[in-house]
């Protein structure tokens, strides 16, 4: 990819890295997009190759104002991408990685004063944190989890600090908000294959949800642990955790109930239990249909849960049950309806579609779908989409398909 690429500084990963001033990520992504070596990048910004390497690996931070400005000038980073107001320690981090306005001056002063212990927290402050977290969830769909982890950790620290200034019902809201942040951090750790960290965050989120009386989040954390078990190929554990999500938190929303039923169906499909899988999928779809009639009753993290997503889940169940024709049909239909805003999910389901095509003997089409998914899988789809594409290559090689060689070469180019 040439370094004169016109949309270089519109790339989501570069935008996020610059906004958070993660210069290591800026260097890595810039080199990936332009093809520059560490030596050539160093020459451009006035650093030697070992300095570029240590910055990329996070062993050195760019603290010099002069070096920072040299990077900005010589890489021609657009001014509008740069953070003009650097938050002081302990203050909330604005939504730098997502579109939309941040807090106005009055609200920002109010949040800061609460953190400093000068005033009590109020509902307006918590409303803003709710909106901020919702924006970050949607940003993660498009740019992946890695650019957002630091931001969400900082937001969680700030939310925890808010607890000291909260009273009465507002204290419960703060704990609920902390639970939602912990659940999001768990999901991002899971997305990056960090199983132990994900389980720890899910446990913390579950504990805070129970403390705040938030049954929807308590059930969701169990469903997401079921998802982890499914990802690890543990069908029985997936079923047990999903069933626990259903009976341990009564009074949950229809959508949350549907999520739990669908997670149990995943486990049964993974075990090859077609009848139980189909029965629970039908039940989950009925719950989701009813939930769609009253979206205002669903918690904010259920925004993605609808008919399109459910069509894709039926395709995944068919994939586990080795019904390649049904898997191909449902994954194709679901992908056609899935918004481009769900870049990470599109990458995953494309890899799964390629897998189903390869198993069905459609080698040329499988390779075409897989090759188109390789760049995004390398960028935001590791380890899950990336591993699935390697599985596709293995299936094609096992079948002696000539297309396997091109896919293997493409994967190696990004390794």
Map 157-173 to HEC letters: HHHHHHHHHCCCHHHHH
Output the average pLDDT for the chain: 85
Give me the pLDDT at residue 22, please: 84
Write down the pLDDT at residue 133: 93
pLDDT of residue 99: 31
Q: Which residue has the higher pLDDT, 49 or 102?
A: 49
22-37 mean pLDDT: 88
Residues 6+ apart with CB under 8 A from 12: 142, 143, 147, 343
pLDDT score at 116: 52
- From residue 106, how far is each of 119, 161, 301 by CA, in Å? 13, 19, 28
Helix (H) or strand (E) holding 1: none
pLDDT of amino acid 89: 33
Q: What is the pLDDT of residue 3?
A: 41
pLDDT above 70 as % of the chain: 89
CA distance 394 to 399: 9
Question: What percent of the chain is modeled with pLDDT above 90?
Answer: 53
Global pTM reads 0.72
In this model, does residue 94 exceed pLDDT 70?
no
User: Of the given ranges (20-34, 112-126, 185-199), which has the lowest mean pLDDT?
Assistant: 112-126
Two tokens at 11?
């790339």
pLDDT digits (tens, 9 = 90+) for 291-348: 988 888 999 999 888 888 889 999 999 999 999 999 999 999 999 999 888 999 999 9
* CA distances to 95, 176, 285 from 292, in Å: 29, 24, 10
Higher pLDDT, 363 or 120: 363
Whether 226 has a pLDDT exceeding 90, the answer reads yes
Can you spell out the DSSP letters for 100-166? S----HHHHHHHHHHHTTSS---HHHHHHHHHHHHHHHHHHHHH-SGGGHHHHHHHHHHHHHHGGG-
In three-state secondary structure terms, 8 is helix
Overall average pLDDT of the 90-119 stretch: 42
Across 208-231, average pLDDT: 95
DSSP 8-state assignment for residue 368: H
pLDDT value, residue 118: 52
- Of the ranges 74-88, 125-139, 218-232, the best mean pLDDT one: 218-232
Flag whether pLDDT at 244 surpasses 90.
Answer: yes
pLDDT of residue 100: 36
pLDDT over threshold 60, residue 358:
yes
Rg (CA), the chain: 23
Contact 329, 319 (CB under 8 A): no
Extract the tokens encoding 52: 């570029």
Residue 85: pLDDT band with limits 50, 70, 90: very low
Q: Is residue 168 scored above 70 in pLDDT?
A: yes
Q: Which range is least confidently modeled, 13-27, 85-99, 143-157, 302-316?
A: 85-99
Query: Which CATH number fits the domain 1-81, given the four candidates 1.10.287.470, 1.10.260.40, 3.40.50.2300, 1.10.3210.10?
Result: 1.10.260.40
Contact predicate 372/394, CB 8 Å: no
Top pLDDT among 409 and 80 is at 409
Phi, psi values for residue 43, rounded to 5°? -60, -35
Task: Give every CB contact of residue 81 below 8 A, 6+ residues apart in sequence.
Answer: 9, 15, 18, 19
């Amino acid at each position: 990819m040439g370094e004169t690429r016109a949309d270089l500084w519109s790339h989501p990963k570069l935008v996020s890295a610059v906004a958070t001033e993660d210069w290591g990520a800026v260097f890595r992504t810039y080199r990936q997009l332009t093809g520059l070596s560490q030596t050539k990048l160093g020459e451009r910004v006035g650093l030697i190759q070992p300095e570029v390497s240590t910055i990329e690996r996070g062993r050195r931070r760019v603290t010099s104002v002069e070096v920072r400005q040299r990077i900005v000038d010589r890489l021609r980073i657009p001014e509008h991408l740069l953070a003009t107001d650097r938050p002081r320690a302990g203050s909330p981090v604005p939504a730098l990685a997502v579109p939309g306005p941040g807090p106005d001056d009055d609200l920002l002063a109010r949040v800061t004063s609460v953190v400093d212990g000068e005033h009590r927290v109020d509902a307006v402050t918590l409303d803003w944190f709710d909106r901020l977290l919702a924006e970050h969830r949607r940003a993660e769909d498009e740019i992946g989890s890695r650019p957002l982890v630091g931001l969400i950790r900082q937001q969680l620290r700030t939310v925890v600090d808010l607890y000291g200034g909260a009273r009465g019902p507002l204290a419960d809201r703060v704990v609920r908000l902390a639970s939602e942040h912990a659940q999001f951090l768990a999901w991002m750790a899971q997305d990056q294959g960090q199983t132990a960290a994900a389980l720890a965050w899910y446990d913390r989120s579950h504990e805070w949800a129970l403390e705040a009386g938030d049954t929807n989040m308590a059930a969701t954390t169990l469903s997401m642990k079921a998802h982890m078990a499914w990802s690890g190929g543990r069908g029985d554990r997936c079923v047990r955790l999903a069933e626990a999500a259903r009976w341990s938190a009564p009074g949950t929303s229809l959508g949350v109930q549907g999520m739990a039923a669908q997670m149990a169906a995943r486990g049964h499909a993974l075990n090859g239990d077609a009848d139980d899988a189909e029965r629970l999928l039908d039940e989950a779809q009925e719950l989701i249909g009813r939930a769609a009639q009253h979206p205002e009753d669903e918690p904010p993290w259920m925004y993605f849960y609808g008919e399109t997503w459910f069509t894709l889940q039926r395709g995944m169940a068919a994939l586990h049950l080795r019904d390649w024709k049904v898997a191909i049909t449902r994954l194709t239909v679901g992908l056609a309806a899935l918004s481009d805003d769900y870049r990470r999910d599109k990458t995953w389901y494309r890899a799964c579609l390629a897998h189903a095509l390869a198993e069905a003997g459609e080698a040329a089409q499988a390779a075409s779908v897989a090759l188109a998914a390789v760049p995004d899988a390398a960028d935001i789809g590791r380890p899950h989409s990336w591993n699935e594409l390697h599985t596709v290559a293995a299936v094609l090689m096992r079948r002696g398909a000539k297309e396997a060689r091109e896919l293997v070469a493409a994967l190696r180019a990004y390794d």
